[in-house]
A and B are shown apart, each in its own frame.
Chain A
Amino acid sequence: MTIRKALWLLGFMAMGLASAQPKVVSGYENGKPGGTLTMALSSAPQTMFYYGAIDSAIQTLANQMFDGLIEYNYKTYQIEPALAASWTITGESKVYTFKLRKGVKWSDGRDLTADDVVFTYTQIVANPEAKGGDAGNFAGVKIEKVDAGTVRFTLPKPAPAFIHYMRLPIMPKHKLLPFSQEGGKKPGDINNAWPTNVDPNEVVGTGPFKLQSYTPGQKVTLVKNPNYWKRDANGTPLPYLDRLEFLIIPDSQAQVAQFLAGNLGQLNITGTDFPTLKQREVQGAPIKVVQFRALFGSPPHLAFNYDAKNPELAALFRKTEFRRAIQSAVNRKRIIDDVYNGLAELPGNGVAPVSEWYYDTTKLLGTYDLAAANAALDKLGLKKGADGIRLLPSGKPLEFTLTYGSNSSTFTAIATIIQNDLKAIGVKANLQGVLAANLLSTGRGKDWDAIILGFGDQPDPELRTPIWKPGGDLYYWHQSTQPTTPGGQPQFSNFLPWEKEIYDLWEKAASTTNFTQRKALYDRWQAIFAREAMVIMIAKPNAVGAVSTKYGNYIYSLGVIPGYNPVPIMYQK
């Protein structure tokens, strides 16, 4: 190469650098480029379009193919810039202005612009007919392009958790316009974009990988996106890996077998699989089993139906003393040791213990003490009958159904342990197994007395308003608080005094933007939640993953959290 040529080249590179703003990820080992990682999907993707379905498979894939404006730090879960290089919040916390990262290109080489962001939010996210959209949280939000690199969101009222919604993946306008209302279609037609038999070249993203092929029901192959906007500390472009393969394996035992056979490089497992895999690791198999305290993931809880069909039971279930008595009979330690093989911790109340929002409710959770539980039930006037079962005031035995997910080994074991301990305090729980997939719909129905269910934790309590705010869509244990018409006011007359208190706290928190003030409000809520044993939180499982020792920089990711994707820094040794 002549000096002149080299100079020209340097000049071009300098120009390229001046206009591009790659994000540097430091604090991890510097890997080497190349290699393939094979992972498992538990079900076949229903679509290749993130907003076209609520489907864990496409969420996992989309995490690798698309980015949001913001993302979460791998270690601290703090919000960091992603496609947006910076942002400001002004106008009484109602105006969010995002400066887009310069030089970001779609995988087909086109530039990412403000038009794509505006298109994504106005035409897809705020579209009430998009199956995976989020119209509810964008009602009344004005979204506009300021210039090619700036987007502004104007909210009708302050929404403190709004920044988290910016983790939603940005879609390419130049590919999706024909499916949108702007492109002359009906609102529902957006769901038809990128079906599973789409030409892979149409699925264009900004993420670390892009779609190469899908073999129906068997495998999805992604390849490195050469235009990706992250670098490591040495300036090496990320991702390191050349290919990402996902095998579709519905059965978790089959996944473990494929992992042990070396056909999978990494696997998300549960505490139940842990002993087998850990034993292999100790015996010298080339694998590593790791666990992390998890922010995300669903801690199970035991809920009682405040509106149970039997009015006597309903009256009892509404009593805090009763729920707290039952809580004393829930052997959390045994569940953590036996069911989760020790890979779980005491639960938070609606907030994961690793979260910055966590308020330490451990003391309020009480301890396992059958004598105390017995005494508390005696005090409620529930005398034991001849057969050892307590009697309700009407003289009928204290007996109810306990619904659980029968195809989940975790839930089955928890249900059995609870049933046994309840028997010891003279409470008869009849187990009723339903498919884990139908638990939520059972809970939201009327035919249950007690149920074991889990809701996913999120980085900000505000994101879980429908669950924890009395009268919310998912406040299923006290359905008589829910509005009679969709979108209406909750039925305040049916609120218990402490529910009103919680409701007011959430109302206030929703319009407060100062972190410290919000934290104080949510702390108070967690304390009331625990004190009243609103539902009885059981345990917070750790995230457990297994990885082949061939790979470095492994960080467990559940794979379904938008904005949390540690795969780009993984490398093959």
Chain B
Amino acid sequence: MWSFVFRRFLVAIPTLLLISVLIFGVIQLQPGGFLENMLDDPRVSRETVETIRKQYGLDQPVWVQYLNWLKRFAQGDFGYSFLNNRPVAGLIWERLGWTVFLAVLTILTTWVVAIPLGIYTALRRHGLGATVVNLIGYFGLATPDFLVALLLIFAVLSSGGTNVGGLFSPQYIDAPWSWEKFKDMLAHLWIPLIVIGLDGTASIMRQMRANMLDVLTQDYIRTARSKGLAERVVLWKHAVRNAINPLISIAGLSLPNLISSTIIASIVLNLPTIGPFLYQSLLDKDQYVVMALLMLSAILLMIGNLLADLALAWADPRIRYE
């Protein structure tokens, strides 16, 4: 297995290189940038802009800029944010905590809710409960997350509530942790959980349902039943274990969501995550921040894939990597 992991690492390097060239190229193609916009301020003259362009090495050819970036990136230096006059790593680090917290929490909630619902709707496919759950699922799939966010905010406002965005009420944001702060967070947390989680829950539920329906008609299920196994054993040991395999791959692919998903929902809900930061950096063409975040996203995707493959091997005795 270790040789498999090692080989995957080797393959990852050229892939990442290719991705980085692509991202760098696309950033350069983007029109405008923060330097041009500075000119609207009466303080800034053409000369100042040129000086700053030189300061950042933006007057050099694109390929020189790229190679310089690559050299530093290989050494673990993510570069410098033009806008913030600070190393990118620190800026990401400041925002990473809440991002990971929210992502992990939504992924967990999603799975904990979606898998049982998927099994339930597969087993009771014609029941009233399953129909209702399916309907909600369709709604969740079809509605963009930011719209759900706006609707929920409207609902909260109409009912006289005050928790309409963010993770805390203003007075708790920079307060030390306390029981009150925790309660305040819970009162805010349900909106992002629904908004970010609804889509994923619905799609995983539908996947799980389809897989289950598929597996339940297999011969080995009939065999298991006919040899007199308890229904519980048939269901959990034979059906679910087989049906869940494809979902493990999906789980691996959801790792980059830590960074790049939910950008719009995070902006609408004003969540302190990396999403809005990435969005703003893209608009401002703060190229090393964008590079760092997108590369991180690519690396996470690869790690997620690898983990998923390993988990598959562990869950399914038929899969072995030699």
Contact = CB atoms under 8 A, between A and B. Distances in A.
Interface of A: 38, 43-44, 46-47, 52-55, 128-129, 131-137, 188, 191-192, 195-197, 213, 215-219, 221, 245, 247-251, 253-254, 257-258, 260-263, 434-435, 437-438, 440-442, 444-445, 455-456, 458, 463-464, 466, 473-474, 486-487
B157 interface: yes
B161 A197 contact: no
A188 B52 CA distance: 9
B64 interface: no
Contacts of A218: 166, 173-174, 272
- Most chain-B Cβ atoms within 10 A of its Cβ — which of A44, A128, A197, A249? A44
Interface stretch (B31-39, B128-136, B195-203, B299-307): B31-39
B86 interface: yes
B148 to A, nearest CB: 14
B284 A437 contact: yes
B270 A250 contact: yes
B237 to A, nearest CB: 47
B50 interface: yes
- Most chain-A Cβ atoms within 10 A of its Cβ — which of B46, B85, B269? B85
21 contacts: A46-B85, A54-B37, A128-B51, A131-B85, A132-B43, A133-B48, A135-B45, A137-B43, A195-B86, A196-B84, A217-B94, A217-B277, A250-B280, A254-B164, A258-B165, A258-B166, A440-B36, A444-B36, A444-B39, A486-B47, A487-B46
Nearest to A434: B31
B159 to A, nearest CB: 11
Contacts of A191: 85
Given A53-B85, A133-B48, A437-B284, A219 B32 contact: no
A213 B37 contact: no
Interface residues on B, range: 35 or more
B281 to A, nearest CB: 11
Interface in B32-68: 32-33, 36-48, 50-52, 55
Interface string B137-178: 000000000000010010011000111111001100110000
Interface of B: 31-33, 36-48, 50-52, 55, 83-86, 90-91, 94-95, 150, 153, 156-157, 161-166, 169-170, 173-174, 267-270, 272, 276-277, 280, 283-284
B170 A435 contact: no
Nearest to A131: B52
Given A135-B47, A196-B84, A254-B269, A54 B41 contact: yes
B195 to A, nearest CB: 13
Contacts of B170: 38, 219, 245, 247, 263
Contact of B85 (A195, A257, A262): A195
B84 A47 contact: yes
Contact of A441 (B31, B156, B272): B31
B31 A133 contact: no
Contacts of A456: 40, 42
B45 A136 contact: yes
A441 B44 contact: no
A217 B84 contact: no
Nearest to A454: B40
Contacts of A197: 86, 90, 94
A247 B272 CA distance: 11
B39 A473 contact: yes
Contact of B37 (A254, A437, A458): A437
Given A46-B84, A438-B31, A441-B36, A487 B47 contact: yes
A195 B52 contact: no
A473 B45 CA distance: 8
**Nearest 7 Cβ contacts at the A-B interface:** A438-B32, A441-B36, A136-B45, A441-B32, A216-B94, A134-B43, A261-B162
